[in-house]
Structure 1
Amino acid sequence: MTVYQLPVEVAAFTSWLTDLVGRARPDAGWYGVFAARDPEGLRACLDGAEILPWDVVESVLQDVGEAAEGPFAARGRALYEEAAGAHDRRPGGVEALAERRHLMEDERRYAESRSRELGERLRAAPDPDEAARLEHDLAWALDDQTRATARVTELTARLDRAVARPSARSSVAESSAAARPTVEAPPGAQSGKAKRRPRGARYAWLDEEAEEAAEAVPLPALPAGGAAPRGARFGGAVESGGAPGARGPAPVPDPVEARRAAANAVYALRRLRSQGRSGEAHALLCEALGGPLDRLPALAAELHRAGLGVDWSTLLWEAASLPPGRLAAVAGVLADAGRAADCEQLLRQGVARPVEELAGACAALHAEEHHREAHALLVAFVRVRAPEDAARLAGADPHGLVPQLLSAARVVSTSRERDLLHALRVAGLAGA
């Protein structure tokens, strides 16, 4: 019988991970979903036989209320990188990584096809109950697609690091040579030199040019396996100046510029999809959430006009994980543009966030005079979250949130209002 001793780096990470999951509820949240979907795989990761995908770790951090940029999460990320490196350096590690990435590419393609199919069925569904079921299935398919894209990117980076190690044994180097064409940059470019940021239609939200010039500039080739998504689910969009999510003085929207940027983005999406570069198409959608938000309604209209409504659903799904202020800003822009259904869908999808973040989003909506949208957010929250979660949310601002939550619960049902009142009494907030 062969006894395998875990590398010290893997043991350190699994110890941190065990501490994390010990704080999560096994029957609720994302941890409950993962435990139900793949209990054996989760156990292998807790034992150190496999490395848990980082997007799963991020979701469990969200379950227990740990900030993604906090010290506990930062410590876990550092341990994760060290554990992944040690795991990948074991004999056969490169081959296993290449195989896993190949399988995950298949998963990504399937999830993308499934999302597109469900989006088409949702647009044609006349029955409200059927539409609600399809919307639920589409949300899960989009989550599968997003996670698969993130994992392809992560596995590609790990494979690059594994094959680039100067101490790699010759057998590993030989196996990596076969896999290398799928992970090398195409980006004719000389290594080690700084590169200018590409311009044109693919970057319509960052640096617009005339559409004619955009068509003349070929789309930049990015590493195989898809570009690293820059949207909300991958660290959040970069916000310009001031506190995160702060909008500052609202700029005067330029409808001509908004339509031109939207047309450029749709043109680029079609080109990327026609070339099979779906990961980069997803990254392009994420870029929209880091650009001028007043252009989002024009993008929505252009995507629907082009028959790409499923891409708009993907973008709303990404926006649901934005920082609280940015989430509120997107919801406000959609409401101001008369896209009430999109606004409500975004808020419904955002209620799975930690209650502290939802309190911030609610406060930001009120600060922007979007009281109706703040109420819609709380209605969606009390409809799907436990009364105890609502009491925790009320604790962030008892004077303001207790009456708002009770009003929202009253819209849902009298029994939900009664359950919330009980939870508020237990938390000592009933008289707030």
Structure 2
Amino acid sequence: MDGTQTFVIIGGGLAGAKAAETLRAEGFGGRVILIGDEHEQPYERPPLSKAYLAGRAERDSVFVHPAGWYAAHRVELHLGQPAVAIDRERREVRLGDGTRLPYDALLLTTGAEPLRLGIPGTELAGVHHLRRLAHADHLRGVLTGPGRDEDPLVIAGAGWVGLEVAAAASELGVPVVVVEPAPGPLHRVLGPELGEVLAGLHTEHGVRFRFGERLASIEGRDGIVAGVRTTSGERLPARAVLAAIGARPRTSLAASAGLALADEGVGGIAVDAALRTSDPRIFAAGDVAAQELGHGGDRRRVEHWANALHAGPAAARAMLGQEVVFDRVPYFFSDQYDMGLEYSGWAPAGDYDRVVWRGDVAKRTFVAFWLRGGRVLAGLNMNVWDVTDAVQRLIRSGRRVDPAALADPAVPLTALLPDEPSGEAAGEAGSGGAG
């Protein structure tokens, strides 16, 4: 391959690191430059809300590669220096210190940033977000420091990050209150049926939920968080506050360069099936990429570990001119207390017409399937393993299934599958946080 070319990756997360790894594995001999606005080398985010946060994993365990890997593979790291502009005409990236880096192909893996609460009191010490390793370092100090069993940690948002932090904090003996405007946890993602299961799990471990409420303000004493007030008017004491209300894709760099963006309902940088943007020399992958679904103009953006893990390498191969169609079934995993789950597919609340259960829901050992018109849109296995490939094949097949057979543990899932091979192994099972 042409050793005179320069490929630049902007974004120091999992997608960017795996893209760099793939370029070398595929034999690319030119310059590979990876730009990250943090001083840390690329790391994975799932441990930040679980194992590392709870003190069960060492800091070094979160990094994608050992410290010496980048030099050994001739990957030039520019850390702690954000990219501030892309000159598409000159094919250059400009850094904050004025450095200009040329590119023949460019990959954007700029990720997402946490949403802010936008209420009085957010400037107080003790208000946390959780997106970066430094955020986890600070929050870990709160959860493991002295006095952690006194006033509660108040979490705004009962999404994956909020629930995983609630589990980690509760296991460390920290009282937790979760304030969530929806009627249950993960209501828009999983619907009320699975939300009820997760709410029960956390309630059994002492977590208190305030559904149908938002934080209205954060109150302090001597510049430090002392309590919160909810939209119901009630005041709650608080040791610290975590804002876990979601994230928005970091598209400002792409927008200023004139790249096409997805509409506001989806967000992100618009890419095709090969993860190519509106500029054929620029690609995007991970949380920031909004991928075209078929030819209907619809797009989907997936903010999970498995998407970054696989999209980074797919984009790298596309940069090399290989034929790429990135169409994996969305997948994520989570660990909370003694519960592990894997979710495959896409079935937000309102998109499905029934949930079919297989197994023992009371013991939280089951597989749940979301169906529409008899077709499986998504599946979640809780404390049941080695079924992800079958679940994903059912989703891909688009075939109608008998709900009674789907619910019957005596009927192997493989008996409901089409005869052709899957063409895609699950390959992403793991543990350690929302993936």
Structure 1 or 2: more helix by fraction: 1
Normalization by structure 2: what TM-score?
A: 0.27
Query: Which one scores higher on RCO, CA 8 angstroms, separation ≥ 6?
Result: 2
Structure 1 or 2: more strand by fraction: 2
Normalization by structure 1: what TM-score?
A: 0.27
